[in-house]
Amino acid sequence: MSNRSVKDDIRDYWGERAATYDASPGHGLGPRSADWEELLTRHLGPAQGRSALDLGCGTGEMTLLLHGLGFCTTGLDITPQMMARAQAKASGTGIRFIAADAEATMEPPESHDVIVARYLFWTLPKPEAAMADWLRILKPGGTLLLIDGDHVNPPPLDWLAPWFDRILGRDPKAGHALVTPAQWDAHRAIVAQLPFREGLRSSTLLALLEQAKFQQVQADNRGLQAFRPLGWRQRLLSLGRHRFVVSARKATVQG
C-alpha cells in the first residue's frame, strides 16, 4: 500500500511542468504585465513597502510583479523545480522565497499585509484549512486576493480549436501544446481527487470565504475581462471561460 498523498502527486506533476510552465497559456504574464499591474494596484492599493505573500508562486511571475510595485515580497511554493526557476529570475532582488505548503504556510501570525494566489485555490485538497491559515497570517485589515477559475470544464467554443489548427496552423498560444500525454494523464488523476474536480465557481469561493470569517468578500466583475485581447482567435476560443478575481479582508478587530 502506497503512502503517497495527492499532495505528493501535485508536487511531482508541477515539478515536471516547471521547464515549460511560463510558455503555457495564461501562466507567463508576457505582454499583459501592465494589465496585471493595474489589477493588483486596484485591489491592493499603494505598496509602500508593505508585506506581500505570493502563494503557490510557481516560477515567480507574480512575485516579481509585486516586488516591482514596491511590496516587500515573499514567494511560497511546494515544488522545488518551480522555486529554483523563481529564484533564478529574482536573483539580486532581495525577494524572499520559502519552500512550504500553501495550506499550512508556517508563517508567523499577522505577518503579511497582502496575500495573493493566482490559479492556486482550485488545486487545494483542503481549501478550508488553507483559508484558516491565511486568515491567521494576515495582519488585521489585510487583503486576500484570489485569481482563479474553472480549470476543469472547457469553454463552449473550445471544440473549434482543432479546426483552427487544421485550417490556420497550430497556434502555440491557444492550447497546452507543451503538455505531454503522460502529463495530461497525471493531471486528470490529480483532478479526480480534488474537492473542485467538477470545476470551481466564483459563487462557491465567495461562500467559502464568508464561512471562513473573512470580511468585505467581493468578486471583481471587471476582473480579467478587462485585459487587452491577444488576437481574435484566442478571444473567440475563450468566450464563456469562467475566470474571476475575488478579494476579501481580515477584520481590523478580531472578535
Q: What is the CATH number of the domain that holds 99?
A: 3.40.50.150
Please tell me which residue, 220 or 94, carries the higher pLDDT value.
94
Mean pLDDT of 178-202: 86
Task: Residue 157: name the closest of 240, 57, 41 by CA.
Answer: 240
Task: Give first-to-last CA distance, the chain, whole Å.
Answer: 45
Q: How many domains does the chain have?
A: 1
Residue 29 covered by a domain? yes
40 is a domain residue: yes
What is the domain extent for residue 35? Answer: 6-249
Is residue 59 domain-resident?
yes
- Cβ pair 202, 22 in contact under 8 A: no
d(CA 79, CA 18): 9
Q: Is residue 254 part of a domain?
A: no
How far is 15 from 31, CA to CA, in rounded Å? 25
Look at residue 173 and tell me if it is in a domain.
Answer: yes
Cβ neighbours of 22 (radius 10 Å): 16
Top pLDDT among 30 and 171 is at 30
What is the percentage of the chain residues whose pLDDT exceeds 90? 55
Grouping H, G, I as helix, E, B as strand and the rest as coil, residue 244 is strand
Q: Supply the pLDDT for residue 2.
A: 57
